[in-house]
Amino acid sequence: MTEGHGDDIYRYSGLVKVNFSTNIWQYPDLSALKRFMASKLDFVASYPEPEPYSLEHRLADDIGIEYGQIMVTAGVTDAIYTIARNIAAGRRSGIVGPTFSEYADACSAAGVVYDYFGDAEEAAVKSDVVWICNPNNPDGRVIDANGLAALIASRPSVMFVIDTAYSDYCRAEKLDVSTMVGRDNVILLHSLTKQCCVPGLRVGYLTASTENIRFLRRHRMPWAVNALASSCAEFLIDNPPVIPVDMLLAESKRMQCAMAAMGYDVT
């Protein structure tokens, strides 16, 4: 991780009123989650499951895929670094950018050679592993799901790593998870903590073919997801906070138009 990226709210002793370190809804009602968390504090006295079996089974059932097609991680960043160390090792990566810096940081940490590309098609021609954030962080760019699915199908020798962490913040059609897990050349990244506005919990997961999940499970650290986080994630599956997506999109459009009227180029 590069110094300066991410949330440095710890430096300011409660002085921060609006936190722009992550593009999530700033004002969720987390009161029920906090009460639930308080009731589970005894969990800190014991080890969590060595792998978050209960949460993985619950998520698989909720999504409608097999248990062997999902792996829970300590946030999406944990998944990114695990993939870089194991799937991307020894292969050339292409990052569709500008985008979230952790794909490049993870590749650098793993000794993976990478280049940036302006579009997914070019990256797929010139790379063995393609990293795509869709919707993109931070500019919100969305690649059409049908076009992306067609690209994945047309390049079976290329591994596509697609970060869908912000998919709940747009109305665009999403890649069908149940279809994608049937392909050996795509891994989808998902962020429960973005979906539920709790980035401090650090719970993410990836969905992929049974073969890819089996390979990645062999290389993940035991007890990586703590007991409170796993338990709270199960609670949030049933009790997700309400995200006012239409209001946020309308406000984004209003700001884009206002800034454009001031003479700025707006993405």
* Domain extent for 214: 38-238
6 lies in a domain? no
21 lies in a domain? no
Instruction: Please state whether the predicted TM-score (pTM) of the whole model is above 0.85.
Output: yes
153 lies in a domain? yes
Q: What does the pLDDT look like over 67-109, one tens digit per residue?
A: 999 999 999 999 999 999 999 999 999 999 999 999 999 999 9
10 lies in a domain? no
Domain count within the chain? 1
109 lies in a domain? yes
User: Quick one: pLDDT at residue 1?
Assistant: 54
User: Whose CA is closest to 75, among 185, 13, 143, 165?
Assistant: 165
128 lies in a domain? yes
User: Quick one: pLDDT at residue 138?
Assistant: 86
Arithmetic mean of pLDDT over the chain:
93
252 lies in a domain? no
198 lies in a domain? yes
Cβ proximity of 220 and 73 under 8 Å: yes
Q: How far apart are CA 79 and CA 189, in angstroms?
A: 7
Does the pLDDT value for residue 175 go beyond 60? Answer: yes
Q: What is the CATH number of the domain that holds 43?
A: 3.40.640.10
Q: How far apart are CA 118 and CA 115, in angstroms?
A: 10
The mean pLDDT of 20-26, rounded to a whole number, is 83
